[in-house]
């Protein structure tokens, strides 16, 4: 016969009273005493980790500096190119404007105006 989950749960609770559980906990706490590592191992690993961390952070800083330099140079180049392009268009527009003004100021030939 299949036992409903709730019944099984209640059975477990009855099987393990809080007093029994507390007794087991004290036995387990007494048995599972911390095991200490060899101090030489702790010191060596600590030294290696700090060295590794320092070299990682130096490498990261170098990468950041390289990206900053790339950004700075790229930004400068873009600014100069952008400026030159802008100047070129400004000059072209200016030249066109002057030509249009000059064309408008030329008077029509006399023959054409007589006819």
Gap between the Cα atoms of 84 and 90, Å rounded:
10
Site for another protein in 24-63 (CB under 8 A): 24-25, 27-38, 41-42, 45-46, 48-54, 56-57
By beta-carbon proximity to another protein, the closer residue of 33 and 104 is 33
Query: What DSSP state is assigned to residue 106?
Result: S
Number of residues lying near another protein (CB under 8 A): 31
By beta-carbon proximity to another protein, the closer residue of 4 and 34 is 34
Tell me how crowded residue 94 is: count the other CB atoms within 10 A of its CB: 10
Q: Is 68 in the site for another protein (CB under 8 A)?
A: no
Reading the block at residue 14, the tokens are: 């009855």
What residues make contact with another protein under the rule CB under 8 A?
A: 12, 15-16, 21, 24-25, 27-38, 41-42, 45-46, 48-54, 56-57
């Amino acid at each position: 016969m299949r036992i409903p989950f709730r019944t099984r749960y209640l059975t477990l609770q009855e099987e393990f009273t809080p007093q029994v559980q507390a007794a087991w906990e004290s036995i387990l706490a007494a048995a599972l005493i911390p095991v200490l590592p060899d101090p030489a191992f702790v010191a060596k690993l600590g030294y290696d980790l700090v060295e590794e961390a320092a070299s990682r952070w130096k490498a990261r800083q170098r990468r950041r500096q390289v990206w900053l330099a790339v950004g700075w140079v790229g930004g400068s180049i873009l600014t100069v190119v952008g400026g030159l392009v802008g100047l070129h268009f400004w000059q072209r527009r200016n030249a066109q404007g002057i030509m249009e003004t000059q064309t408008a100021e030329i008077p029509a030939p006399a023959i054409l105006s007589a006819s």
